[in-house]
Amino acid sequence: MVVVGGGGREHALCLSLNASARVDALHCVPGNAGTAQIATNHTLGMDIVGLVGLAVQLKADLVVVGPEAPLCDGLADACHEAGIPCFGPVAALAHLEGSKLHAKQTMEEAGVPTAAYQRLDAASDLDAALDAFAGDPWVVKRDVLAGGKGVVVTSDRGEAKAFIEASIKSDGFVLLEAFLPGEEASMLVVMDGTAYRTLPASQDHKRAYDGDEGPNTGGMGAYCPAPVVSASVHEKIVQRIVEPMHRHLARQDTPYRGVLFIGLMIDEHNDPYVVEFNVRFGDPECQVTLPLLKTDMYALLHGAATDGLGDVTLELHAGSAVTVVLASEGYPASPIKGRPLRGLDSLLEKTSYGQAWVNFAGVSTDENGQFIASGGRVLSCTALGADLSVTQQTSYELMNAISLEGGHFRTDIAHRAID
């Protein structure tokens, strides 16, 4: 089987799949230094023809797609044509992440709670629109795949207006959204045409620095489960969001077969609203969610890829998982790459989950075989345990054994559940 992608999320997928007795040959494209320990890495771009060609050549029985871009480009459609089961939706449904306007329209049709919004273009009265949402920070979203950089949340009217104007100029239109107050959570829902399975909710930390200060990032750390999603909140999410979205997605020509990432805001009344959909596992949410699953990962993913999810029972381990991301100096604006990473060699041998392990992301080797940081988010230190405070401490102990000049990480991951 083939895992597509090369980040911390794909390393987590490979670790979980490696634990399955049903996986005999694990391949990863392009993979990273961590997946190299447990899978055969293939140096190949994200070109759809090349990826499907490799899957055919390997006689793959399953393709699992990590990132959204190849899904939006039609990788699942191409696998389908080649007769290979694919975990990840076809392009028409991946559009839920590819276009925020499409996601809003889908939520309206399905009756799913989300923030009110206006679509603004060159003909719009921008001041009237800004007035309509005044009082709270303005939330402006570009309708493009921008890796988290297409959203501005600001109380500065001038900044909001400038971002709106620049976005209209480059994209033709932009969304202005009502600000949702509350606490964020992430819910991963594995689904196919017949069934869905909700994985335990987690919480990401999107801002770069402690106390939720600094710029938005891809995610600086996460923990699972997130207590903000209590049993009653979970029930509301299922009734108001998961059920209607699954009904909508299951009745499409090709049903949604993959994982739907629901970015949520839980308000002061414990009511859930959708902030965004992604059509893939979250990164770093994946790193803390998968280790809590007792269910065989191949059975879950292959089941969803083949409309067999109804036969898969979700079983969970007790306890919590925490992951802390190490980022390169300058991340997210302009990460400095190529610096040596020390302390990793003894950690690399971990090919299965234990008490603590490293999820590799932007790590490669130089000409002498030394580990170097090759990305903005370099790696994350993950721990699993019965008690969240102890687990948090364990992941920081692991982090403190690793050094990277200028590297930075947050020291308060999981604070909301511990304070």
Name the amino acid, one letter, at 229: V
Q: Give residues in contact with ligand AMP (CB under 6 A).
A: 115, 139, 141, 148, 151, 153, 177, 179-180, 184, 206, 216, 263, 275-276
DSSP track, 308-326: -GGGPPP-B-SSEEEEEEE
Q: How far apart are CB 359 and ligand GLY at their closest, in Å? A: 13
Kindly list the distances between the CA atom of residue 95 and the CA atoms of 178, 256, 324, in Å, as whole numbers in the listed order: 22, 11, 30
State the binding partner of 282 from ligand GLY, ligand AMP, none, CB within 5 to 8 A by kind.
ligand GLY
Bridge partners (DSSP) of residue 121 are 173
61 near ligand GLY, judged by CB under 6 A: no
What is the b/e burial string over 188-221, where b = at least 16 CB atoms within 10 angstroms of the residue's CB? bbbbbbbbbbbbbbbbbbbebbeeeeeeebbbbb
DSSP 187: E
Q: How far apart are CB 262 and ligand AMP at their closest, in Å? A: 11
Instruction: Among 67, 204, 256, 392, indicate the residue that binds ligand GLY (CB under 6 A).
Output: 204
| Positions in 242-301 near ligand GLY (CB under 6 A) | 278, 282-283, 285
Q: State the first-to-last Cα distance of the chain, in angstroms, to the nearest integer.
A: 42
State the binding partner of 179 from ligand AMP, ligand GLY, none, CB within 5 to 8 A by kind.
ligand AMP
Distance CA(203)–CA(194), nearest Å, equals 28
DSSP 35: G
The smaller minimum CB distance to ligand GLY, of residues 61 and 285, is found at: 285
* Chain center to CA of 61: 24
State the binding partner of 296 from ligand AMP, ligand GLY, none, CB within 5 to 8 A by kind.
none
Identify the sign of the CA torsion 3, 145, 254, 240.
positive
Total residues in contact with ligand GLY, by rule CB under 6 A? 6
Q: How far apart are CB 346 and ligand AMP at their closest, in Å? A: 35
The smaller minimum CB distance to ligand GLY, of residues 87 and 371, is found at: 87
Q: How far apart are CB 7 and ligand GLY at their closest, in Å? A: 10
The smaller minimum CB distance to ligand AMP, of residues 265 and 293, is found at: 265
User: Which spans of this chain sit near ligand GLY (rule: CB under 6 A)?
Assistant: 204, 219, 278, 282-283, 285
